[in-house]
Chain A
Amino acid sequence: MEEASGRRSKLTIRSEREREREREREREQYRSSMLQCIFLLSDSGEVILEKQLTGHRVDRSICAWFWDQADSLKSLPVIASPTHYLFQIVRDGITFLACTQVEMPPLMAIEFLCRVADVLSDYLGGLNEDLVKDNFIIVYELLDEMIDNGFPLTTEPNILREMIAPPNLVSKMLSVVTGNASNVSDTLPSGTGSCVPWRPTDPKYSSNEVYVDLVEEMDAIVNRDGELVKCEIYGQVQMSSQLTGFPDLTLSFANPSVLEDMRFHPCVRFRPWESHQVLSFVPPDGQFKLMSYRVKKLKNTPLYVKPQITSDSGACRVSVLVGIRSDPGKTIESITLSFQLPHCVSSADLSSNHGTVTILSNKTCTWTIGRIPSDKTPCLSGTLALETGLERLHVYPTFKVGFKIMGIALSGLRIEKLDLKTIPPRLYKGFRAQTRAGEFDVRL
């Protein structure tokens, strides 16, 4: 009797587990690989090329569906279509569209598409419809190398370069002359096997060089009262290394405490940063982005922009003054100011005492100043005519400011030193810095 009851309890355990398994099997019906297909669309919605990633083919009619959607849906990065989930990014007029049918991290798809766009524009020297079409074989080969069965395979640009040679003048000429030039490498890049997959095993250079660039972008918002609401720096440490062998580098900052937050290239070891805020790493070969960082709550922008607008009885007077607020010690170059004229403006007559003003047909106005002259304050002035019936302007444009300063990092971050564990012969180290405007908005 006891045994019987024991068996029954065993049976129920079993059946529960079986049910679980059955459920799992049912669930697995839906499981398949991650990304199923990547489409590249031109700015007119034409499919430039498609790359099917798995056996589950995705018909290209999905692109037509996508293109026909209303703007409010079409501009979403993640779209649930009736048959697939779509991820999209738009880069230089080309839409990269990826499809999946199953749950997967959406950011993974988006980041991957960004990575593809980066690699392609690096290979082709830019991105546009013609470039992609002209080099479609390379695009195919790259995509095939970058993703396997919907899961990213090799995305490290340095390794990709070894696998598939970028098109260059020499190979082009060679292909014209001989009619035959393969851009597919016969051998596996050595980096793929090592514990530092971002680096070829044994590069050799006669002269060893390593350059460190601090490239900073200033994000700022000045509100309508002329108050600086937000001012922060988004910076990157970019490196270019051509070092023989297997170098082990350490980079330290004089004032790491200014850093609000940071993100690292995979080569950076986390431990030394956690304990002493020192970057210790084996660099990739060539150009790469070592880290990016943020410095918040800056007190000042190098430039001031003072816009004024008065509107009365259907006409507005605009005047904008631009000048140096706090001198960074270096010349501020390529100053530009651009803004979108409101819809209700029917015509604009703007002129400046320095630089050039252009107004495009889509009502984008750009004022190219260049450098601030020493003798006068650049000023943009003119009138805007409102559409008939409007007395006053009730919406106001936002000015986007652009500038560049070479030789200085506005965040104040300073590199203390760059050390190599084993110093190779003829080593040359170089440091540079520059700051440019990022999202610098001045509201009117």
Chain B
Amino acid sequence: MFNQFGSTAETLSKASAAVLRIGTDAHLYDDPEDVNIAPLLDSKFESEKCEALKRLLALIAQGFDVSNFFPQVVKNVASQSSEVKKLVYLYLLHYAEKRPNEALLSINYFQKDLGDPNPLVRAWALRTMAGIRLHVIAPLALSAVGKCARDPAVYVRKCAANALPKLHDLRLEEHAPAIEELVGILLNDHSPGVVGAAAAAFTSICPNNFSLIGKNYKKLCQILPDVEEWGQILLIGTLLRYVVARHGLVRESLMLSLHGLESNGFYEKDGLVGDKKDGDKSDSFDANLVSLVSKCYIEASFDSKETTSVGDNEDVKILLQCTSPLLWSNNSAVVLAAAGVQWIMAPLEDVKKIVKPLLFLLRSSTASKYVVLCNILVFAKAVPSLFAPHFEDFFICSSDAYQVKAHKLEMLSLIATTSSISSILREFEDYIKDPDRRFAADTVAAIGLCAKRLPEIPTACLNGLLALVRQESFAGDLELVDGEAGVLVQAVMSIQTIIERDPLSHEKVIVQLFRCLDSVKVAAARATIIWMVGVYCSLGHIIPRMLTTITKYLAWSFKSEASETKLQILNTAAKVLISAEVEDFQMLKKIVLYVLELGECDLNYDVRDRTRFLKKMLSYKLACHEPTEDSVASQENIAEHVVEYVFGRKLKPFSPLNLHNRFYLPGSLSQIVLHAAPGYEPLPKPCSFVVEEHDQLSDSGRQREAMSGLNGSQESSETVDEDGSSEYDSESYNGSDFSSDGDERNDANDAADPLIQFSDIAVSTDQEELRSKRALDLWLDEESSTSNQTPSALDRNQSSYAKISIGDIGSRVKPKSYTLLDPGNGNGVKIDYTFLSEVSTVSPLHVCVEVLFQNSSTEPIVEVSLEDEEAMNVSDSAEQTLVGKANASYNNVPTLIPMEELSCLEPGQSAKRLIQVRFHHHLLPMRLSLHYNGKKVPVKLRPDLGYLVKPFSITIEEFLSTESRLPGMFEYTRRCTFTDHIKDTRMENGKDKFLTICESITLKVLSNSNLHLVSVDLPVASTLEDATGLRLRFSSKILSSEIPLLITITVQGKCTEDLNLTVKINCEETVFGLNLLNRIANFMVETSSSAI
């Protein structure tokens, strides 16, 4: 009956629980798979989709892999319901990296959502799109972020700022400048919410790009109090780093307090010192430690001249002003960050204002308390007097976690002063009785530390400790409680620490301790006491008299001791024998011999070893009859010296400074874990950031660097040689100018309009001609069947179009050259590389790269060669295991067909070599190592997408039929503008304008990629000015997969104005196609912007 009742009660309680859970998602979490999810996803009802997605999320939550639903889920991204959308986004982000191709399907929807009038939809789309970690969509995401960075809604701009680190994380170096530029724009935002997020982006993207901060410094300081708390934490750090890099440390600050400290009269007039009447100077602060701390904080050693002062530096003053109210923040992390700034930068007398806010932080969650205490400990080690008056705040509550208690104890023993020690000791007495014996043991150790710091108090301490030893030895006897032994050991150690300072006056204590020996049963404690017998055996006049008795006792108990204690007995026996008085010598010798005999047949081989060693050492003593008897043999004399040295030596006081003094910036993770976490950076070198206006000459390079960082070019020009610069610019564009004049060359990005310069340049070396012709020949030869097809294609359309000839275009195609190593970096070796259209002889996957070595130094360079760096990357430091995933791409390092070694390169000489490279990924650079003069320099060879394809000659009909088979998702278009032709059309009046446009577009395309021009369609022009309808078709095959890739460029706009180009790519390999499309769109625009 009862049974029945019981079961009813059970069902009842189950039922009531079920009632409570009605309407929640409980059933979904409990049995996510109790229905078939797939049909639900395809349902036409939003609610069913929603349920299916929730089930998927439940599975994710429980750790199952449900990525096989990806295609079905992605379809739902188009849903109108915000909840479905949100759930799809959650799912997408979880799996996007796993299913890249399907993830691409969603991109169009994100693009659409980015234009949605609802800011929430825009923000979600942006967050998800940036969160899909695919290199392919990075350019799209970047442009989306760029757009959203100018969005009217603050929330969207904030999300844009948050999206930047996601893109940066993909490590697309070609986008890095654009990302940094966006950081700059967002830092300059007028809304505090955005600035906070931008500060976070800054910290993780370009923490040392101080020019971005420099521009807005004052504004950032003013906006700081309004920034959200999380942004404040990082912004404070950023501002501090900026000020240090810009102005250096503050002269009056604690960090530099060593300089001119005495002249300041700091001790006398300063209010910091807690107990002035004590006159205990070492109490106010530990100058050595402070200088150690400040050295640890700063990256490089610095000159003490590189300082500034609050009084005359406005920037420092503002920083201190704007961070000090943040000490009142509700967020502990903000308070700690602000305190860090004051600690490092504030004048000495102002540092104390961080104390109360820091102490207030101790009244927060256990975890925060622990972190704050770790930081306060460092402050207190350096300046104990700061916290000395507030010792009560470190008294321990019963609810504190063990770690917190331990840190508080350390704190109390650090800041105890003669006036506070009595209350602190009384607290300690209470703690010793705490049920947590580990904590009690720590307390006993802390008493020892206090007594060591404050010489006045030992007597009181010692009595207490002795009483404790007696009591503990009694309790420990029973060995009922864990940790009891620890307390006893600590007590003995603390007594030893105190005695060490002045053993003579504590003789009685030592004697008392010896008397306890019999009752102390804990091996470690016994060992310590026995060790003390040996050390103090000749001290005073009571101990020597007891010695024989003690030694007898030890010999008697030897058999029953632990090996740890046995070893100490042996040591002590040796010491006692050496310092023995005449009258006791015979007796002691007997005892020692007895002990040694026992030791020789001990079970533990450490003990046996020690015994044999001692026996040998002491043989001369044991042989003679009187302690003072002179040894005859010189050999024995040496043994005597050795023994004297080993055992007769008095203890040296050892430095109280902790050995593990490693300091990291306050508030950092590294300070808690006590090693430099990946990404930890100390403060920058003081005054390492110089703003340009000071010194034109020396800073111009720096300025340019800053500028180039903004403008998006990878390389900055070092050339300050104004006369030559325009020439170099033009040359560098052509990329085939190999005149070895030893000067640096700009990257193509900096170049001006190419066609103009082309015609301007009168002189071009033979080499150049040779090279360019060869490139063209190759191109033409390869397409032998359709050589000269360019005109012929045109001919076909001739009937309706004007007859044009662009046959000479080939001679003007100049493949772009990139810099592998610039002379500044390579001690005068300059290396450029150009991708060749030639097909590799090794495998269809390899690309031929022509490498040009130039020696611009004054000495010959020998043994130049390029090698794959793969071998080196395998054995990377341990730190990388932590970041293993990020470096996964190392496995993909492509193979390299090396070049023949250059045996010698004379000054001014240049040489060309061919290498063949297989890029593993079409976006990732290949790491090579360059060897020359016996040195090794790592360099990066970046793939050019345009040369990872090969020309594919087809007729226009074939082209059109292939195109028609690749519609929809295989087709991508992008728009861009084109301006190269403008100057041309203006300059060359005689020529047909359409022809010029065709020429310049073709030239541009063929100079940057390895394509085959299929046809040119000219519009039947209504007006001569309108170029709309002009269409160029190119074809190629992807090197790696032989998949055809078709490119169509359609022109819109007037001949004399900017043209709008629509570039379309049809390709089965969507990922590659999309990337190439972006590459084309980029280079089409690229030059036009720099031409302006």
* A153 contacts B81, C-beta separation under 8 Å: no
* B679 contacts A400, C-beta separation under 8 Å: no
Within 8 A of B (CB), among A278-296: 289, 292, 294
* B669 contacts A134, C-beta separation under 8 Å: no
* B371 contacts A77, C-beta separation under 8 Å: yes
Q: Is A179 an interface residue (CB 8 A)?
A: yes
CB distance from A386 to the nearest CB of B (A): 9
Within 8 A of A (CB), among B338-396: 356-357, 359-360, 363, 365-368, 370-372, 392, 395
* B233 contacts A441, C-beta separation under 8 Å: no
* B427 contacts A389, C-beta separation under 8 Å: no
* A395 contacts B371, C-beta separation under 8 Å: no
Q: Is A308 an interface residue (CB 8 A)?
A: no
CB distance from B860 to the nearest CB of A (A): 17
Specify which of A24, A75, A105, A114 is in contact with B233 (CB 8 Å cutoff): A105
Specify which of B58, B325, B676, B884 is in contact with A136 (CB 8 Å cutoff): B58
**What's the Cα separation between A299 and B886 when bound, in Å?**
59
**What's the Cα separation between A398 and B82 when bound, in Å?**
55
Residue of B nearest to A58 (CB): B885
Of A60, A183, A441, chain B has the most CB atoms within 10 Å of the CB of: A441
* B360 contacts A111, C-beta separation under 8 Å: no
CB distance from A35 to the nearest CB of B (A): 11
Contacts A106-B669, A108-B333 known; A151 to B200 CB distance under 8 Å? yes
Specify which of A75, A133, A173 is in contact with B401 (CB 8 Å cutoff): A75
Residue of B nearest to A60 (CB): B63
**What's the Cα separation between A261 and B226 when bound, in Å?**
21
* A186 contacts B82, C-beta separation under 8 Å: yes
* B86 contacts A176, C-beta separation under 8 Å: no
* A229 contacts B368, C-beta separation under 8 Å: no
* Chain A residues whose C-beta falls within 8 Å of the C-beta of B883 in the assembled complex: 29-30, 32, 101-102
Contacts A60-B63, A103-B668, A155-B230 known; A192 to B154 CB distance under 8 Å? yes
* A136 contacts B57, C-beta separation under 8 Å: yes
Specify which of A89, A112, A193, A265 is in contact with B154 (CB 8 Å cutoff): A193
Of B25, B357, B368, B884, chain A has the most CB atoms within 10 Å of the CB of: B25
Q: Is A144 an interface residue (CB 8 A)?
A: yes
Contacts A136-B61, A221-B395 known; A78 to B368 CB distance under 8 Å? no
**What's the Cα separation between A387 and B478 when bound, in Å?**
11
Q: Is B54 an interface residue (CB 8 A)?
A: yes
* Chain B residues whose C-beta falls within 8 Å of the C-beta of A47 in the assembled complex: 62-63
Q: Is B814 an interface residue (CB 8 A)?
A: no
Q: Is A185 an interface residue (CB 8 A)?
A: yes
* A140 contacts B90, C-beta separation under 8 Å: yes
Residue of A nearest to B677 (CB): A103
* A27 contacts B679, C-beta separation under 8 Å: yes
A-contact 0/1 string along B675-702, CB 8 Å cutoff? 1111111000000000000000010011
* Chain A residues whose C-beta falls within 8 Å of the C-beta of B399 in the assembled complex: 400, 439
Q: Is B259 an interface residue (CB 8 A)?
A: no
Specify which of A84, A179, A294, A396 is in contact with B433 (CB 8 Å cutoff): A396
* B678 contacts A111, C-beta separation under 8 Å: no
**What's the Cα separation between A140 and B204 when bound, in Å?**
25
**What's the Cα separation between A14 and B708 when bound, in Å?**
14
Of A13, A47, A266, chain B has the most CB atoms within 10 Å of the CB of: A266
**What's the Cα separation between A102 and B395 when bound, in Å?**
34
**What's the Cα separation between A289 and B363 when bound, in Å?**
16
**What's the Cα separation between A152 and B234 when bound, in Å?**
12
Q: Is A429 an interface residue (CB 8 A)?
A: no
* B229 contacts A266, C-beta separation under 8 Å: yes
* B371 contacts A390, C-beta separation under 8 Å: no
* A103 contacts B670, C-beta separation under 8 Å: yes
Contacts A78-B371, A105-B668, A343-B481 known; A33 to B365 CB distance under 8 Å? no
B-contact 0/1 string along A342-353, CB 8 Å cutoff? 111000000000
Specify which of B25, B89, B437, B480 is in contact with A137 (CB 8 Å cutoff): B25
Q: Is A422 an interface residue (CB 8 A)?
A: no
**What's the Cα separation between A311 and B669 when bound, in Å?**
48
In the complex, how many residues of chain B place their beta carbon closer than 8 angstroms to a beta carbon of chain A?
145
Specify which of A111, A155, A187 is in contact with B120 (CB 8 Å cutoff): A187
CB distance from A225 to the nearest CB of B (A): 8
**What's the Cα separation between A343 and B82 when bound, in Å?**
57
Q: Is B330 an interface residue (CB 8 A)?
A: yes
Q: Is B646 an interface residue (CB 8 A)?
A: no
**What's the Cα separation between A27 and B879 when bound, in Å?**
11
* A261 contacts B357, C-beta separation under 8 Å: yes
CB distance from B177 to the nearest CB of A (A): 13
Q: Is B44 an interface residue (CB 8 A)?
A: no
**What's the Cα separation between A180 and B48 when bound, in Å?**
9
* B669 contacts A78, C-beta separation under 8 Å: yes
* Chain B residues whose C-beta falls within 8 Å of the C-beta of A209 in the assembled complex: none
Q: Is B1047 an interface residue (CB 8 A)?
A: no
Q: Is B158 an interface residue (CB 8 A)?
A: yes
**What's the Cα separation between A152 and B231 when bound, in Å?**
9
**What's the Cα separation between A297 and B86 when bound, in Å?**
53
Residue of B nearest to A180 (CB): B47
* Chain A residues whose C-beta falls within 8 Å of the C-beta of B200 in the assembled complex: 34, 151
* A270 contacts B328, C-beta separation under 8 Å: yes
Q: Is B22 an interface residue (CB 8 A)?
A: yes
* B123 contacts A55, C-beta separation under 8 Å: no
Q: Is A383 an interface residue (CB 8 A)?
A: no
* B162 contacts A153, C-beta separation under 8 Å: yes
* B24 contacts A167, C-beta separation under 8 Å: yes
Q: Is B560 an interface residue (CB 8 A)?
A: no
Residue of B nearest to A198 (CB): B228
* B330 contacts A292, C-beta separation under 8 Å: yes
* B197 contacts A151, C-beta separation under 8 Å: yes
* Chain A residues whose C-beta falls within 8 Å of the C-beta of B493 in the assembled complex: none
* Chain B residues whose C-beta falls within 8 Å of the C-beta of A343 in the assembled complex: 435, 481
Residue of A nearest to B230 (CB): A152
* B330 contacts A264, C-beta separation under 8 Å: yes
**What's the Cα separation between A224 and B204 when bound, in Å?**
52
Q: Is A18 an interface residue (CB 8 A)?
A: yes
Q: Is A172 an interface residue (CB 8 A)?
A: yes
A-contact 0/1 string along B466-508, CB 8 Å cutoff? 0000010001001011000000000000000000000000000
CB distance from A146 to the nearest CB of B (A): 10
**What's the Cα separation between A90 and B1011 when bound, in Å?**
62
* B367 contacts A18, C-beta separation under 8 Å: no
* A30 contacts B886, C-beta separation under 8 Å: yes
Residue of B nearest to A13 (CB): B701
* Chain B residues whose C-beta falls within 8 Å of the C-beta of A75 in the assembled complex: 401-403
Within 8 A of B (CB), among A225-266: 225, 229-230, 234, 260-266
Specify which of B154, B225, B366, B823 is in contact with A270 (CB 8 Å cutoff): B225
> 8 interchain pairs (CB within 8 A)?
A24-B208, A34-B200, A49-B62, A137-B57, A148-B159, A266-B228, A387-B480, A395-B481
* 8 shortest interchain CB distances as A-B pairs: A172-B23, A14-B824, A77-B367, A55-B133, A102-B679, A107-B333, A270-B325, A49-B61
Binding site for A on B (CB under 8 A): 21-26, 28-30, 46-47, 50, 54, 57-58, 60-63, 81-83, 86-87, 89-90, 93-94, 96-97, 118-120, 123, 127, 130-131, 133, 153-155, 158-159, 162-163, 165-166, 168-169, 171, 191-193, 197, 200, 204-205, 208, 225-226, 228-230, 233-234, 237, 325, 328-333, 335-337, 356-357, 359-360, 363, 365-368, 370-372, 392, 395, 397-399, 401-403, 423, 426-427, 429-430, 433-435, 437, 440, 471, 475, 478, 480-481, 667-670, 672-673, 675-681, 698, 701-702, 705, 718, 720, 822-825, 827-828, 858, 879, 881-887
Binding site for B on A (CB under 8 A): 4, 10-11, 13-15, 17-19, 24, 27-34, 47-50, 52, 54-57, 60, 72, 75-78, 80, 82-85, 87-89, 100-108, 110-114, 130, 133-138, 140-141, 144, 148-153, 155, 167, 171-176, 178-180, 182-188, 192-193, 195, 197, 219, 221, 223-225, 229-230, 234, 260-266, 270, 273-274, 289, 292, 294, 340, 342-344, 387, 389-390, 394-398, 400, 439, 441, 443
Q: What 10 additional pairs, Cβ within 8 angstroms, besides A136-B57, A144-B86, A270-B328?
A: A10-B718, A103-B668, A103-B676, A105-B237, A134-B24, A136-B61, A140-B57, A149-B162, A223-B427, A263-B328
